[in-house]
Amino acid sequence: MKRYSAFAIAREAARYHTGWERAWRAPIPKKKYDVVIIGAGGHGLATAFYLGKNYGIKNVAIIEKGWLGGGNTGRNTTIIRSNYLQDPSAALYEKARSLYETMSQDVNYNIMFSPRGVIMLAQTHHEVRGYQRTAHANALQGVKTEWIDPQRVKELCPIMNIDGPRYPVMGGLWQARGGTARHDAVAWGYARACSDMGMDIIQQCEVTGVRSENGVVKGVDTTKGAIDCDKLGIVVAGNSSHVSEMAGFRLPLESVALQALVSEPIKPCMDIVVMANTVHGYLSQSDKGEMVIGGGTDGFNNYTQRGSFHHVEETVRALNETFPILSRLKMLRQWGGIVDVTGDRSPIIGKTPLGNCFINCGWGTGGFKAIPGGGWATAELIAKGEPGPLAEAFSLDRFREGRFIDESVAAGVAH
């Protein structure tokens, strides 16, 4: 693989860009791999990348029923933060945030990471107490956050109305090193690096069955034929329940749509990310000038990747009070992603009832920000057969044993 650099750009410009190579190969599946990973989204690709980088396991296939990064990885609002209350969550997301900072260099691909800072607004007295508690917890966890007053919020985001009658701003939890990254670039960068290691990324290849023998996984059946493997990783986000049923076990989660939209582009007016959890709305401005707006999950189980007008209207109506400058903007496009949600709003990273079969799922609305950390932890799990320090609290057994990692109450929202 040729390295991307300023010199490479100059060289290719001189020869009319005729020398660029494909970013990743389009191979024919082999009969057998050491590891097969189902799902070529962010977490699946990150798992494969860290299997190769950290453990030297490169005989790996990443199977995707659609196109690379075409699921939730390309259908989110790109927020990156680690200011979670529970110790296991904070450790996992802080690992992910720190890996994002060096990812462009690690994979030799510009993921456009922007540590612009994230504010989580406190708009009720309950949120004030909750976020102050989180700030203290983060200090003990080594996660750098701070509680700021309404005046500081206004300084950081001048377009905000902090005196709204329904949703006044009483302060906020500020993480200066949080921010955003280009979601597609994260998938493309990992894919390019995996392909360069010799791994096979097989697109348009749907898994139709999981084969096992004496309680141990032996391979998968796909629309491109049978593929044998020694170990299997299931990393398929909103479709985790379907694939787990093929493998012979059920998961304690449900799938719902999460919607978002962007406005028409405008001049730069906001250089941070703002999350208003009371109204389940969050806002940032993209490099193209679009206002990126996200809301909460649908109130019913579904697998749609479309948006719905009533949900967008509810989110935008509340945000307009806090950001009145946006009230006359036109919506450019909207979309939905399928997220799988557990009862405690925390992910599952662990072994399954099927031997040598491992799973990464249940991220709910927090999957994008966790991609490098989730991939790091899942790669360790697959390589060693046992969870490491990052993943051990997130095992599937915790639901049977009552060891919940409750972020739904602690954070108010899992975005």
CATH at residue 361: 3.50.50.60
Q: What confidence category does residue 330 fall into, taking pLDDT thresholds of 50, 70 and 90?
A: very high
> What is the number of domains present in the chain?
2
**Backbone phi, then psi, for 184, in 5-degree steps?**
-60, -40
- pLDDT tens readout for residues 73-99: 988 999 999 999 999 999 999 999 999
Residues 273 and 336 in one domain: yes
Distance CA 289, CA 286 (A): 5
Which pLDDT does position 295 carry in this prediction?
84
Which pLDDT does position 415 carry in this prediction?
46
Distance CA 277, CA 265 (A): 24
Q: Is residue 90 domain-resident?
A: no
pLDDT at 396 over 80: yes
Residues 135 and 261 in one domain: yes
Percent with pLDDT over 70 in the chain: 98
Residues 243 and 290 in one domain: no
Q: What confidence category does residue 412 fall into, taking pLDDT thresholds of 50, 70 and 90?
A: very low
pLDDT at 144 over 70: yes
Q: Is residue 228 domain-resident?
A: yes
221 CB-near residues (< 8 Å, 6+ apart): 207, 208, 209, 210, 211, 227
Residues 238 and 273 in one domain: no
Residues 348 and 336 in one domain: no
Residues 218 and 236 in one domain: yes
Residues 336 and 348 in one domain: no
Which pairing describes strands 171-175 and 118-122: parallel, antiparallel, or unpaired?
antiparallel
- pLDDT tens readout for residues 251-262: 999 999 888 999
- pLDDT tens readout for residues 164-218: 888 899 999 999 999 999 999 999 999 999 999 999 999 999 999 999 999 999 9
Q: Is residue 315 domain-resident?
A: yes
- Alpha-carbon torsion 123, 126, 128, 134, what sign? negative
Across 29-54, average pLDDT: 97
- pLDDT tens readout for residues 272-327: 999 998 877 899 999 999 999 998 888 788 888 777 777 788 888 888 889 998 88
**Backbone phi, then psi, for 172, in 5-degree steps?**
-170, 160
Q: Is residue 92 domain-resident?
A: no
Residues 282 and 334 in one domain: yes
Q: Is residue 141 domain-resident?
A: yes
Residues 152 and 217 in one domain: no
Residues 261 and 389 in one domain: no
Residues 194 and 63 in one domain: yes
Which CATH number belongs to the domain containing residue 168 in this structure?
3.30.9.10
Which pLDDT does position 409 carry in this prediction?
53
Residues 261 and 338 in one domain: yes
* Structural domain of 395: 28-78+183-252+344-411
